Amino acid sequence: MSPRDDGHAVHHSELKRGTPVYDADERVVGKVVESLDNYRENIWDGLVIETESGDKRFVDAHEVARTAERAVTLTITAAEVAELPPPPRTSLLSRFLKRG
């Protein structure tokens, strides 16, 4: 198996929707939906991903090994991804209004 070329490392805020997400064993487990952070306090919360089965899951920032131009690599396995919780139930508007 040849090494995956995921490009240069990028800040989580630069990730594009649909970027492939790989588990620790380099298997595709989903794609990026959005990156969640607390901009005011400079804290990255994590990623919302859509799994291969179409479920949305929240990946905590400490479970992300690398964010790059063409891929995200996690520190957890596909089985652990399947056990992740759904994303927080806040909308962009509620976050903007500080109600979520």
Domains of the chain: 12-96 (3.90.50.10)
How much is the pLDDT for 1? 44
Give pLDDT, residue 40: 80
Instruction: Report the percentage of the chain scoring pLDDT > 70.
Output: 86
At 95 the pLDDT is: 52
pLDDT, residue 96, reads 54
Judge whether 78 and 84 are in contact, CB under 8 Å. no
Q: CA of 5: how far to CAs of 2, 11, 52, 70, in Å? A: 9, 17, 21, 8
pLDDT tens-place string over residues 7-64: 999 999 999 999 999 999 999 999 999 999 887 888 899 999 999 999 999 999 999 9
- The per-residue pLDDT for 89 is 76
- Per-state percent for the chain, helix, strand, coil, to nearest 5: 20, 35, 45
